[in-house]
Amino acid sequence: MSTLSSREAAALIGTYRRQPVEFVAGDGAWLTDADGKTYLDFLSGLSVTSLGHAHPAVAEAVAAQVRRLVHTSNLFYTEPQVALAERLRATLGWDDGKAFFANSGAEANEAALKLARRHGKKEHPDKVRVVALSGSFHGRTLGTLATTGNPAKHEPFEPLGDWVTHVAHDDPDALDAAVDEGTSAVFLEVVQGEGGVRPVASAMWHAARSACDRVGALLIADEVQTGLGRLGVWYGWQSTGVEPDVVTLAKALANGLPIGAMVARGDAPKAFAPGDHATTFGGGPVLCAAALAVLDVIEREGLVARAASMGEQLQARLATLTDEHALAAGVRGRGLLQALVLERPLAAAVTSAALRRGLVVNDVAPDAVRLAPPLVIGEGELDEMTTRLGAALHEATPGAGAQR
């Protein structure tokens, strides 16, 4: 491990704080490191490998497509891309939905920002502003970074412009007041994943929908982390009672291969004309074949309903930990995206202690540990997680892990 770390330091730009483990293989909810030690993966590569590692259906779909055709560019038709757009439209319940495929969640959100600007400028040349929430995360391109509601992430790259207004994540009146005739879009997450796994109340969604309708702006649902079953519904917005105009997806769509998607309905997709936006690799045959296999497995194995039921069990086990450990303060989240909230900002210590015990989680906030297991997680694995995380809490608690 020390040799690989030294090689990385010499060859890679230091944009990541690595955990001291080299993973070499995975199977289902388990990872194996270079020394042969196994780890229970309750992070899923940041909500990505929802079917678990090395899923055979995805591997077979990718292998078959690679042998047939890898790339043509978007100058030509390919059947997997059209088929994937049709399938996404069906899962969303949007007969008029139209997709644009990118390579990541940030790029899907960037496409949505550009679509909103084109849509707004057709009404008025200054209708380009965006309203988003404090604590949000929408990506690391300059546009999506500006939309992200985290000043600490802005600071190294400022100035980012003044076209985004951020309002509190729990203040519907402030959101309504921020939307005016110059607003082209409101950007919302259903659960602020990078903001500490913090659900956004339905009242905010209703306020956003009303405000967008009032001024002719687009309501954009960022489902990059929450879409495709993770919250126990196909898409988180379906639990809010509000329908957006645009949905963005990525992470779980191809179970680890790089693909993002923006799907728009109604008049929104008409804002783009040929040449307005493009990508060389987005929607390539291999990625779309993988995504189609993912959707097949989710539907065939009933993984959306499974995420709902297993999410309840995950939440219950985390609640048990809050009863047993002084460091654990509470639980928040939905479905299989949950956070164990701590009494003190010791999430990094808990995460490190868990890793030493063969459990992969992450400190999404100083006082919150994120858990996002694959949708195929089993009850026995939930029990194993509870044991290992409980031991990590005990180790990280000042004073030798005081018990309640």
Query: Do 131 and 165 contact (CB within 8 A), yes or no?
Result: yes
Catalytic residue among 137, 245, 272, 367: 137
Nearby residues of 45 by Cβ (< 8 Å), 6 or more positions away: 256
CA angle (15, 130, 372) in 5-degree steps = 45
Catalytic-residue membership of 251: yes
Residue 177: HSE in the Cβ half-sphere, 13 Å Cα cutoff: 7
DSSP E strands in 309-384: the ranges are 328-334, 337-342, 359-360, 362-365, 368-371
In 3-state terms, what secondary structure has residue 168? coil
Catalytic-residue membership of 153: no
Query: Do 224 and 230 contact (CB within 8 A), yes or no?
Result: no
Catalytic-residue membership of 114: no
Q: Which of 72, 88, 136, 143 is nearest to 112 (CA)?
A: 143
Dist CA 225 CA 190 (whole Å) = 9
Catalytic residue among 251, 272, 363, 367: 251
Cα 22 from chain centre: 24
Catalytic residue among 41, 176, 222, 363: 222
Q: Rounded to whole angstroms, what are the CA distances from 28 to 33, 55, 288, 375?
A: 15, 7, 22, 10
Active site residues: 137, 222, 251
